[in-house]
Structure 1
Amino acid sequence: MFNVLSDINWLSVLVAFIAYFLLGPLWYLFLFPKQYRISLGKAPDAQLSQDPIYIVGPAVCTLAITLTSTVLLYALNSTSYNDAVSFTVLVGVGYLVANTINIAINPNIPRPFLYGVITGSYHLIGTLLVSVILIAMK
C-alpha cells in the first residue's frame, strides 16, 4: 500500500489540506456558530476560546486525515469523481462521522447528536473536498 508514496502529487495534498483546514473557520465561525456553541452547552453568543491549541490541533488532525485519504485514494487507484464521492461516503460516514458522534456521546457534550451533525458534516464535506481535489490534480 505504501508503494504509492512516489506517485502522489504532493502539491494536490497541500491544496487539499488548505481547503479542508480553511473549511473549519467557515463552518464553525460563519455557517454554524450558534448551533455549534449550543451543542457544547454554551450560550449562542458566547465567545469561543482563542487558545492556540484550537488552531494547531485541527490543523494537525486535518493534515493527518488528508494524508491518510491521499494514500488510500492512490492505493485504491481512484481516478474519477464517482470514486471520490464513494470514498467520501465510505470513509466520511463510516469513520469520521461515526467516530465524531461516538466521541460526542459523553457527559461533557450536552447535545451530542447536534454536535455530531455539525462536526460530522464538517468532516464529510472536508473529506469530499480533499477527495475531489486529489482526483482533479492527480
Structure 2
Amino acid sequence: MINQLANLNWISVLLAFIVYNGIGALWFTLLFAKAYKISLGKANEALPNNPIFIAGPAICTFVVTLTSAILMYALNIQSMGGMVEFCLLIGIGFLVANTTNIAINPNIPRPILYSAISGSYHLVGILLAGLILFLMK
C-alpha cells in the first residue's frame, strides 16, 4: 500500500476531493436543502453549523476519494467503461448501501428520503471523483 500511495497523482486526488466535497456543499445547502431537512424531521429548523458538521463529512469524503484512488491504481483500471463500472460498484455497493443502513434508525424520521438524497449525492460524487482520478492518472 505504501508503494501505491507514492505512485498516486496527488493533484488528481486533491481535485477529485474538492469536487466531491463541493458537490456535497451544493447538494445539501442549495439543491436539496428543503428535502434534506424534511428527511431529518427538521423542516422548520436551522440545521446546526458546528465545525464537526463541516469538517467531519469533508474528512470522510477525503478518505473515500483516497481509497478509491488507491483501488483504481491497484486494479489497474484502464478504460472509461472500467472506471464507470468501478464507481458504480463502489457507489451503490458501499456508499449508497451504507447510507441507507445509517438512515434506517429511529433518529431519522424519513429514512427512504434521507437515503435517496444522501445516497444519490454519494453516487454522483464518486462518479465525478472517479472521472477526475481516471483522466488525471
TM-score (norm. length: structure 1): 0.95
**Matching residue's letter, 1:47:** A
State the identity %: 58
Question: Secondary structure at 1:78's aligned position in 2?
Answer: coil
Partner of 1:54: 53
| Number of matched pairs | 137
Kindly report the root-mean-square deviation, in angstroms, between the aligned alpha carbons of the 2 structures.
1.1
Give ranges in structure 2 of 5+ residues lacking alignment. Answer: none
In structure 1, what is the equivalent of residue 133 of structure 2? 134
Matched to 1:18, the amino acid is I
Cα deviation 1:47-104 (Å, max 9, x = unaligned): 1111111110011100100110010000010122212210111010001100100011
Cα distance in 2 between the residues matched to 1:56 and 1:5: 23
Counterpart residue type for residue 12 of structure 1:
S
Q: How does 1:36-51 map to 2 (within 5 A)?
A: 36-43=36-43, 45-51=44-50
Structure 2 partner of 1:7: 7
Between 1:119-128 and 1:78-87, the stretch displaced more is 78-87
Q: Which residue does 2:71 correspond to in 1?
A: 72
5 Å-filtered alignment, 1:81-100, equals 81-100=80-99
Equivalent residue of 2:45, what SS? Answer: coil
Does 2:27 match 1:31? no
* Cα distance in 1, alignment partners of residues 26 and 132 from structure 2: 18
The one-letter code matched in structure 1 to 2:78 is: T
Contact 1:2-1:71 within 8 A present in 2 as well: no
Tell me if the contact between 1:39 and 1:112 (Cα under 8 Å) persists in the aligned partners. Answer: yes
